[in-house]
């Protein structure tokens, strides 16, 4: 249990006792408008880089009477999903992701609870090898030595970097990243075709008896390449509603089809005079595991996957970036910019390669320079099929309606009364004015995150032991 901090005043006192309440912090605290400023920061959940807006908002009832007004300036959260950029906004993104993913396995949010009886698995697809890298093998419960002969610490910066940088295929790595989305698209097509063949159907007939739904998240490995974790669910012909999926599709059959489909997919990158023809495939490591229902499963159990744990696992990776530094969370503006980043030589070389290939006319459509900071990956971190579950938009609309209902209750306005909200806001800036404001905002963020944990809103479901 996380103890809730009593308030902002105690944290400021802690600053004073530790000797960190420097003149700049004292100046901010002594400002006449500090309470107003602090209220804006608190409303923005201590966002690390809020958008500053000025203007007003008016709420009008059906008779044209103004029932509420707000004017002046406000801070709007940046809503960045990356924890390395804004931990507070990232926590909200993870919270929404958790409920979006879990609804597709346990029901709710507009998804019928009957989906708990549908077959679903957690599939992990990885990138192929582009050269040996320093690793920390784990076998039979023990950490083994790397191919270099060393026994690496889990915090060793050399992990994921090539044993032989000169022989490492950086071009193949970047092109694979750029085509990862296409590899996934062709993989889903291949799964459907192979399932149809296994059931004795033509591909066009498969939707008459079943549908496949999925939600996937991209995670960066230490070597700088992504792999996908995907929840794959088998539905009846009408999706999560209507008749159940066919009993002939078993866990063993779905596992075999996923593995076969991953092995069969090939994408050819645009032919280049400088590079030649590059064929791209999935890696040999394809993992498929069943997902059980959370009901009756211990939250601390390490025996396998259940829907709450999978949702937490996916939500956690949806908020991570490249595992590098904050500098790589922003777009690269020039080749010189890459050299200034405090990252490993390996990751710099991936960026250099993306920048160089991005200047070739045959790769122009890949926008590799635009995505050099993401090491060539240009897809969405979280995607789902249409019928898997609800949407982020619907989750956020529900939250907005809840807040509006709170406002109705405070104003004594009936639920049936039609309200019109008129907004007139303009952006005046982004972020805080100085480092002292940023440090104080970080305190609000810590308080906000601590209260979320106390209220049970920490949705990290973890994963089975040893993963």
- Ramachandran quadrant class, 76 (left: phi over 0; alpha: psi -120 to 50; beta: rest): beta
Cα-based distances in Å from 457 to 79, 316, 444: 17, 13, 17
Say yes or no to pLDDT of 413 above 50. yes
State how far the Cα of 256 lies from the Cα of 161, in Å rounded to an integer: 33
Instruction: Output phi, psi for 337, to 5 deg.
Output: -60, -40
Each residue of 262-311: pLDDT tens digit? Answer: 999 999 999 999 999 999 999 999 999 999 876 654 444 455 788 889 99
Per-residue confidence at 417, pLDDT binned at 50, 70, 90? confident
Contact yes or no for 307/293 (Cβ under 8 A): yes
pLDDT, residue 455, reads 64
Question: pLDDT by residue (tens digit) across 350-364?
Answer: 999 999 999 999 999
Residues contacting residue 345 through CB under 8 Å, at least 6 positions apart? 161, 165
pLDDT(238) > 60: yes
The whole-angstrom separation of Cα 311 and Cα 444 is 27
d(CA 418, CA 98): 32
**Tell me, what's the pLDDT at 244?**
85
3-state secondary structure of 422: strand
- Per the model's pLDDT, the better-predicted residue between 15 and 71 turns out to be 71
The span from the CA of 462 to the CA of 464, in Å, is 7
Bridge partners of residue 215, in order along the sequence: 231, 384
Kindly report whether the global pTM for this prediction surpasses the value 0.85: no
DSSP code of residue 239: B
pLDDT band at residue 101 using 50, 70 and 90 as cut-offs: very high
The pairing of beta strand 66-76 with beta strand 51-60: antiparallel
* Distance between CA atoms of residues 74 and 44, nearest Å: 9
User: How is 308-370 classified by DSSP, letter by letter?
Assistant: HHHHHHHHHHHT--SSS-GGGGS---SHHHHHHS-S-HHHHHHHHHHHHHHTSGGGGGGTTTT
Q: Which residue's entry shows tokens 């809103």?
A: 457
pLDDT tops 60 at residue 20: no
Tokens of 328: 């790589």
3-state secondary structure (DSSP) of residue 77: coil
> 330 or 73, which is more confident?
73
Q: Residue 174: what pLDDT? A: 97
């Amino acid at each position: 249990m996380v103890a809730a901090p009593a308030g902002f005043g105690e944290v400021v006192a802690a600053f004073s006792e530790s000797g960190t309440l420097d003149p700049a912090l004292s100046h901010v605290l002594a400002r006449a408008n500090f309470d107003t400023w602090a209220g804006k920061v608190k409303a923005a959940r201590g966002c690390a880089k809020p958008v500053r807006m000025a203007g007003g908002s008016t709420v009008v009832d059906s008779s044209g009477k103004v029932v509420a007004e707000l004017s002046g300036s406000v801070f709007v959260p940046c809503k960045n999903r990356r924890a390395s950029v804004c931990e507070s906004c990232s926590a909200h993104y993870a919270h929404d992701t958790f409920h979006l993913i879990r609804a597709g396995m346990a029901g709710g949010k507009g998804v019928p609870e009957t989906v708990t009886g549908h077959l679903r698995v957690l599939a992990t697809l990885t990138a192929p090898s582009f050269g040996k890298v320093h690793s920390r093998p784990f076998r039979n419960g023990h950490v083994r030595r790397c191919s270099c002969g060393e026994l690496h610490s889990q915090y060793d910066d050399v992990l994921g970097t090539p044993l032989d940088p000169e022989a490492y295929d950086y071009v193949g790595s970047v092109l694979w990243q750029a085509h990862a989305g296409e590899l996934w698209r062709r993989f889903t097509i291949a799964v459907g075709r192979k399932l149809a063949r296994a059931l004795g159907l033509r591909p066009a007939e498969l939707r008459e008896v079943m549908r496949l739904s999925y939600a996937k998240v991209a995670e960066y490995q230490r070597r700088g390449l992504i792999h996908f974790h995907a929840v794959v669910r088998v539905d009846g012909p009408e999706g999560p509603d209507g008749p159940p999926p066919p009993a002939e599709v078993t866990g063993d059959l779905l596992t075999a089809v996923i593995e076969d489909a991953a092995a069969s997919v090939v994408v050819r990158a645009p032919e280049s005079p400088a590079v030649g023809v590059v064929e791209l495939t999935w890696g040999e490591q394809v993992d498929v595991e069943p997902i059980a229902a959370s009901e009756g499963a211990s939250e601390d159990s390490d025996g396998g996957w259940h829907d709450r744990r999978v949702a937490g696992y996916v939500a956690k990776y949806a908020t991570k970036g490249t595992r590098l530094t904050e500098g790589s969370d922003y777009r690269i503006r020039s080749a010189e910019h890459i050299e200034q980043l405090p990252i490993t030589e390996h990751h710099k070389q991936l960026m250099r390669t993306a920048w160089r290939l991005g200047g070739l006319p045959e790769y122009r459509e890949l926008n590799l320079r635009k995505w050099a900071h993401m090491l060539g990956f240009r897809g969405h971190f979280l995607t789902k099929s249409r019928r898997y579950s609800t949407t982020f938009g619907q989750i956020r609309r529900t939250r907005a309606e809840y807040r509006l209902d709170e406002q109705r209750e405070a104003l004594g306005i009936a639920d049936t009364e039609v309200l019109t909200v008129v907004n007139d806001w303009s952006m005046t800036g982004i972020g805080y004015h100085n480092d002292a404001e940023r440090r104080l905002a970080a305190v609000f963020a810590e308080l906000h995150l601590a209260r979320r944990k106390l209220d049970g809103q920490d949705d990290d479901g973890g994963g089975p032991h040893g993963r």
